[in-house]
Amino acid sequence: MVMKELEFKQLIERYQQGLLSEREKQLLDEWFDAMGQDNVHHLWTTENKLNLKKNILQQIEGKEIKTAAGAELGSVPLRSLPVSWRGSYFRAAYRIAASILLLGTISYFVWQFSGAELSAVQVLQTTATGNINKVLLSDGSIVWLKGNSMLTYPEEFSGNERRHVTLQGEALFEVTKDPSHPFIIQCGELTTTVLGTSFNIKSSEKNIEVVVLTGKVSLTSASDKKGIVVLPNEKAVYNGLKKQLVKVETVKEEKIATVASTEYSMDFDDTRMSEIIRRIEGKFNVEVTMSDPKLGNCMITADFTDQSLDRTFNMISQALGFKYEIDGNQISLRGTGCD
């Protein structure tokens, strides 16, 4: 059974539009099982599959792709493939990519690159099971990418483009406020649109859950263009089988779980500035210098949770009466300290 290139591209388009029937999915499963008898795709390492996946997308879309480390991807070098695979590389490439598509990864890349308004350079971040990776986006937004998840996003949010990212798995978002540029997250069939807020998205095979911590979130789907608006202390659940989007209240324990093992919370009660600065440096990946070391002795009670870096220092400077300057990831504080 052979799948031609055109058929493969059509399959991707139908997959991203959610047009595959259960019967078609079953047939694909059977096709992939039959293909597995070639004893080819299991010889690949994870790196081989990732490189091939990006290479094929580059050929299909004609766009530049970068890894999270910023390295450009060209053709997959044959010397990096298993010896037994080299002779059949070009013949089997699309079959391997189709297998990866079935696992739910290629469709996200194609979806991400399908709009002309998106940046040409995309970045991929993945997180291993049990880990949480912090991702700082170009607009200052922070994403806590949780275990066994994948995030794709433009290297830069530039011009009049929408801030648009794609998520597979689970992540906690702290979105920088920008009323003129909505922040959009595509997670399976669910589209989340915000201006500036914090919330957690968790997707599984059947459901997608959105827990809102601050602000408000607009949710729509392919079958529900009107959608719903979710407020703090509320949770939305999208049932992928029934194509239904409902809203329920969250419990305290659930909210605590969404921020666990992250640096999200910045609530301080009579805390020394030296400790607050340490927490700020860790969360925003910045370095803070003080003109007077005694600034670190000052005590402050405040909640900077869900505040941008600039807003955080603006609040602190008003409380303690010092000045600050932000230059990239370098921040300088000037003022009189405390004994």
Residue 275 placed within a domain: yes
Query: What pTM did the predictor assign?
Result: 0.65
Please check whether residues 141 and 250 belong to one and the same domain. Answer: yes
Please check whether residues 163 and 241 belong to one and the same domain. Answer: yes
pLDDT, position 174:
96
Which residue, 259, 289, 323, sits at the end of a domain? 259
At residue 123, the 3 state secondary structure works out as strand
Q: What whole-number distance in Å separates Cα of residue 92 and Cα of residue 82?
A: 13
**Cβ neighbours for 11, distance < 8 A, ≥ 6 positions apart:** 3, 98, 101
Please check whether residues 164 and 183 belong to one and the same domain. Answer: yes
Residue 282 placed within a domain: yes
Please check whether residues 163 and 232 belong to one and the same domain. Answer: yes
Residue 201 placed within a domain: yes
First to last CA, the chain: 79
Please check whether residues 186 and 134 belong to one and the same domain. Answer: yes
Domain that holds residue 319: 267-334
Q: What whole-number distance in Å separates Cα of residue 336 and Cα of residue 213?
A: 36
State how many domains the chain has. Answer: 3
Please check whether residues 60 and 151 belong to one and the same domain. Answer: no
Nearest to 198 by CA among 184, 183, 212: 212
Please check whether residues 129 and 248 belong to one and the same domain. Answer: yes
pLDDT, position 281:
96
pLDDT, position 280:
96
Q: What whole-number distance in Å separates Cα of residue 35 and Cα of residue 322?
A: 67
φ and ψ of 62, to 5 deg: 65, 35
Interval 185-209: pLDDT, tens: 999 999 999 988 999 999 988 899 9
Low-confidence ranges of the chain (pLDDT < 50): 1-5, 31-49, 51-120
Q: What whole-number distance in Å separates Cα of residue 44 and Cα of residue 242?
A: 36
Q: pLDDT averaged over the chain?
A: 75
At residue 78, the 3 state secondary structure works out as helix
Interval 290-312: pLDDT, tens: 999 999 999 999 999 999 999 99
Q: The domain that contains 134 carries what CATH number?
A: 2.60.120.1440
Residue 339 placed within a domain: no
Q: What whole-number distance in Å separates Cα of residue 206 and Cα of residue 106?
A: 19
pLDDT, position 187:
94
Q: What whole-number distance in Å separates Cα of residue 320 and Cα of residue 324?
A: 11
Residue 228 placed within a domain: yes
Residue 165 placed within a domain: yes
Please check whether residues 239 and 288 belong to one and the same domain. Answer: no
Please check whether residues 142 and 101 belong to one and the same domain. Answer: no
Residue 116 placed within a domain: no
Q: What whole-number distance in Å separates Cα of residue 305 and Cα of residue 85?
A: 52
H or E element that contains 214:
strand 207-214
Please check whether residues 250 and 276 belong to one and the same domain. Answer: no
Q: The domain that contains 299 carries what CATH number?
A: 3.55.50.30
Burial of 93 (0-12, 13-18, 19+ CB in 10 A): middle
Please check whether residues 169 and 252 belong to one and the same domain. Answer: yes
**Cβ neighbours for 171, distance < 8 A, ≥ 6 positions apart:** 143, 144, 145, 146, 149, 151, 200, 201
Q: What whole-number distance in Å separates Cα of residue 169 and Cα of residue 172?
A: 11
Tokens of 41: 């795709």
Please check whether residues 165 and 194 belong to one and the same domain. Answer: yes
Which residue, 47, 74, 109, sits at the end of a domain? 109
pLDDT, position 223:
87
User: Rg of the chain's alpha carbons, rounded to an integer?
Assistant: 23
HEC-encoded secondary structure of 156-205: CCCCCCCEEEEEECEEEEECCCCCCCCEEEEECCEEEEECCCEEEEEECC
Strand 170-174 and strand 183-187: pairing? unpaired
Which residue, 60, 84, 109, sits at the end of a domain? 109
CA pseudo-torsion sign 304, 308, 311, 316: positive
pLDDT, position 11:
60
Residue 114 placed within a domain: no
Residues 112, 124, 193: CA angle, nearest 5 degrees: 45
pLDDT, position 111:
41
